[in-house]
Amino acid sequence: MRLSDFMDRVATIYLAGDVAAEMADATREVERIAYHEAGHACVAMIFGRVPQAVELRKSERGWGGCCHIKPDDRPDDFFPSDGEFVDLLDRVRGVEGEPPLDREAMRSQARAILEEHWSFVQAIAGNLLTKTINSPLAICTEGGLRKLWKFHKGEMDYVFQEK
């Protein structure tokens, strides 16, 4: 699946008139979640933060996902303070005298990052989706993420042997 196909699918899910029918399709939902969490893992890796794991889990409410980043692996200023958070919200909304953040520019930057590393996102999502076939839990561990990253960067071959 190409990034543009994925974005089209997400747009279809959220913008189509028959949202309930689209969301009921468990296969598409778990695929969307897998790619979403893989995107979080990709961005974390780009910024030098190796997630402990990326997981998909099925519950009575449906599928959910999480990208686990160790709290001690985050810099002290990873989370904004309360004041910074309020300032950020004001900037997003646009406050008197200040222009709002350019959401389209932010989306464009995110899309460029994902396009550059899309094969890595696909590898993580594919790894997770393969595991959901027979299990309500799919996990890609830190070790697996490191191998997929090295493969993406050309440092390993397809059988995960160091080059």
Domain ranges within the chain, ordered by starting residue: 3-75+117-152
List, in sequence order, every residue forming a beta bridge with 162; answer none if it has no partner: 156
Lookup: tokens for 85? 């958070």
pLDDT in the model for residue 47: 78
Lookup: tokens for 23? 């969301």
Q: Is the pLDDT of residue 125 over 90?
A: yes
Q: How far apart are CA 2 and CA 144, in angstroms?
A: 22
pLDDT in the model for residue 103: 74
pLDDT tens-digit profile of 77-117? Answer: 555 555 655 665 565 556 666 666 677 877 788 888 889 99
Average pLDDT score over residue span 125-136: 89
pLDDT tens-digit profile of 16-32? Answer: 555 545 545 667 888 99
Q: Has this prediction a pTM greater than 0.75? A: no
